[in-house]
A and B are shown apart, each in its own frame.
Chain A
Amino acid sequence: MRDRTVLHIEDNEYNRKIVRQLLSRTSYRLLEAADGEEGLAVAQRELPDLILMDVQLPKLSGLDATRLLRADPRTAKIPLVVVTSFALSGDDRRAIDAGASAYLAKPYSPRDLMALIHRFLPEN
């Protein structure tokens, strides 16, 4: 069985680096994308097992990308976590409405992120 794949879509290099560091010690395979369009393309091509999507992305916003992924039957069922701005801003509701499986408010604790990944995608 191939390793579980996680797709991280985030425009900030340092935040990508943190996730990269977090997953470096696990068996997960990590894919990265720096904007909405790229993220959408990678997801449709690679069909990852979990998608982490920042809410605010260049070219195509995280919410719009989420909606497109949900509309595509190949990606419709993939667990998708939206990283929102602020728990109280209303982003969370919009994320769930767009079709996200869960949301995580920024700034998040890396520990919480790992817990969330484990919840949707138990390591094998």
Chain B
Amino acid sequence: MALISSPLGAPVRAVARIRASVHVKLLAGFLLITLLFIAITAVSLRAVRETARQTDLLDQAQVRVGWSRQIEHALAMQMHFTSMALLAQSEDSVGLILRENNRFNDTLARLETAAPPEERALIQAIRVAQDDAMATVADIANAVRDRRMADAMTALRTRQEPIYQKIETLVGSLVAAEDTRMASLRRSIAAAQARSLRQMAGFAVAAVAVALIAGFVISWSFILPVREFHGFLSQVAEGRFGGSVAVPNRDEFGALAERMNWMSGELRRLDDEQRVAAATLRGLNDRLELASRAKSEFLANMSHELRTPLNAILGFTEIMLDELYGEVPPNLREPLVDIQTNGRHLLRLINDVLDLSKIEAGRLELGVDEYSVQEIVDVVHASLRSLAIEKGLAFSVWVAPDIPPARGDGRRITQCLMNLAGNALKFTRHGRVEIDVRLDEGWLTYRVSDTGIGIPKEEVENIFAEFRQVDTTITREYGGTGLGLSITKRLVEMHGGRIGVESELGRGSRFFFTVPLHADGGPA
């Protein structure tokens, strides 16, 4: 198979060779696919978590920037209130300065706890500067209280302002540091997102590929043995026994293959045995056939030997009855007629037995020729009319018009119709006997209907067998051996036709046979 030699052949065989049930293999396949999807989910979850953490950091940095701005604001307010104290020449503003200072310190403390370690030094510096600033504020406040306005002004200008400027610079650098940090965070978030997108896509593609390959390999590891089985079973169906299936599978298919091989061997053995038996039977049959043929041949050759003395018996009787030897005394006429009747009966018997033996030996040949249906019916009608009149039966015939000349053995067909009509007259006491013939789509149907004694249902099957008679009392009355129907049946079948009967006990029978309009004969 092409697949076995393709690159996937090796894994297919490998999977087939795994010693596990089909169930387990399928389960493993699905499990593998499930695991791949779990892995994809895990990767994407991790990426989401990473992004969330970075976003958190960004948020914190933003909060810190906010705080730094608050510090700047508090500082400005301090400066403002210090200037106000100077201008108003009162200490009242000092309380406000302290409030701003507190706010400054609070915010700075929060910033300090939240800030990353590298910013701690900067914050420390701010705190020191602020402490300086507060000391200066105290000095200025003292100077204002003592009305030393010039000193206060000097302190403000020479000490306080430089400190505030310093603080402002420090806060500025703090904000700048946070800004840089935020920018780098934003960059890394974008990078992480791109990376996880790539990872996920890669994983998905890999998962689909692995799932496809696994599905392909597993399914082929099942399909291949099934194909093998199919081929093997086709062989068996064609009557070629003894072949075997070879599959690499060690699963249920492997077990099945083993059973099939066993079965194949068994079939082979049975086939051989049967062949031997058939040959023996054939030999036996040939010998039997030979014997039966010899017997029938003997009977057929007897035909003329039997007829010659019978010819003398019937001939002498007839010329005596015709008074060729002179007048027949009245008391001798009846025994002479009895001799004639029995002689004729003996003749019919001889004819029937010889017919049957010839048919059985396969030596009866049909003399196929053109014949006229009307003529046959007329011959039968003419030869049986006197019997019908004698019994007081109505006897009529009907042949469908326009039946073309038929082909077949006309005399055998006559014999068949004669047998059926003879039976009908024989087994009918009152009423009528009718013969009719019709043509339907190339088939001729000859029918003989009577109003006679009929045939019991259970006997209908049997009457076509040799020597089968329903009621021998009638036979004793009219003669007969039970060969008529069996010969008729065989002759009809030799014409490629069939015979049948419908009958009702006590009401009558209808016998019919159907033959092709153009029968070519040949062995039945």
Please tell me if B329 contacts chain A, counting CB pairs below 8 Å.
no
- B 45-100 contacts with A by CB, 8 A: none
Among A4-48, those with CB < 8 Å from B are 12, 14-15, 17-18, 21-22, 25
Closest Cβ of chain A to B347, distance in Å, is: 6
A121 to B355 CA separation, bound complex (whole angstroms): 35
Asked if A18 and B308 make an inter-chain contact with CB atoms under 8 angstroms apart, the answer reads no
B309 within 8 Å of A (CB atoms) = yes
Are A25 and B324 neighbours in the complex by a CB distance under 8 Å? yes
B243 at the binding interface (Cβ < 8 Å): no
Contact of A111 among B311, B316, B318, B412 (CB under 8 A): B318
A88 touches B355 (CB 8 A): yes
Decide if the interface of chain A is mainly helix, strand, loop or mixed.
loop
Q: Is A14 a contact of B304 with CB atoms below 8 Å?
A: no
Interchain CB contact (< 8 A) of B311 among A90, A93, A106: A106
Contacting residues, chain B, for A109 (C-beta < 8 A):
314-315, 318
- A90's partner among B304, B314, B322, B365 (CB-CB below 8 A) is B365
Which chain B residue has the least Cβ–Cβ distance from A86? B303
**How many angstroms from the CA of A14 to the CA of B316 in the assembled complex?**
9
CB pair A107 B347 closer than 8 Å: yes
Task: Check if B307 is an interface residue, CB within 8 A of chain A.
Answer: yes
Identity of the chain A residue whose Cβ is nearest the Cβ of B355 in the assembled complex: A88
Please report whether the interface of chain B is mostly helix, strand, loop or mixed according to DSSP.
helix
How many residues from B make CB contacts under 8 Å with A? 25
Q: How far is the CA of A18 from the CA of B311 in the complex (A)?
A: 10
Q: Of A15, A85, A88, A111, which one neighbours B312 at CB under 8 angstroms? A: A15
Which of chain B's residues have a CB closer than 8 A to the CB of A111? 318, 322
Residue numbers in A under 8 Å from B307 (CB-CB): 85-86, 106-107
Contact residues, B356-411 vs A (CB, 8 A): 365, 367, 411
The residue that B315 contacts in the complex, of A18, A25, A85, with Cβ under 8 A, is A18
- Find the residue from A15, A21, A22, A106 having the highest chain B CB count within 10 A: A106
Shortest distance in angstroms between A28's beta carbon and chain B's nearest beta carbon? 14
Residues in A neighbouring B367, C-beta threshold 8 A: 90, 93
Nearest-neighbour CB distance to chain A for B422, whole angstroms, equals 16
- Identify the interface centre among B314, B315, B325: most chain A CB within 10 Å of its CB: B315
List 4 extra interface pairs beyond A14-B315, A15-B308, A56-B304, CB under 8 A: A14-B309, A85-B304, A107-B347, A109-B318
Residues of A within 8 A of B (CB): 12, 14-15, 17-18, 21-22, 25, 55-56, 85-90, 93, 106-111
14 A-B residue pairs with Cβ-Cβ distance under 8 Å, sorted by A, are A14-B309, A14-B312, A18-B312, A18-B319, A21-B319, A21-B324, A55-B304, A85-B307, A86-B351, A107-B310, A107-B314, A109-B318, A110-B315, A110-B319
Please report B residues at the A interface, Cβ cutoff 8 Å: 303-304, 307-312, 314-316, 318-319, 322, 324-325, 347, 351, 354-355, 365, 367, 411-412, 415
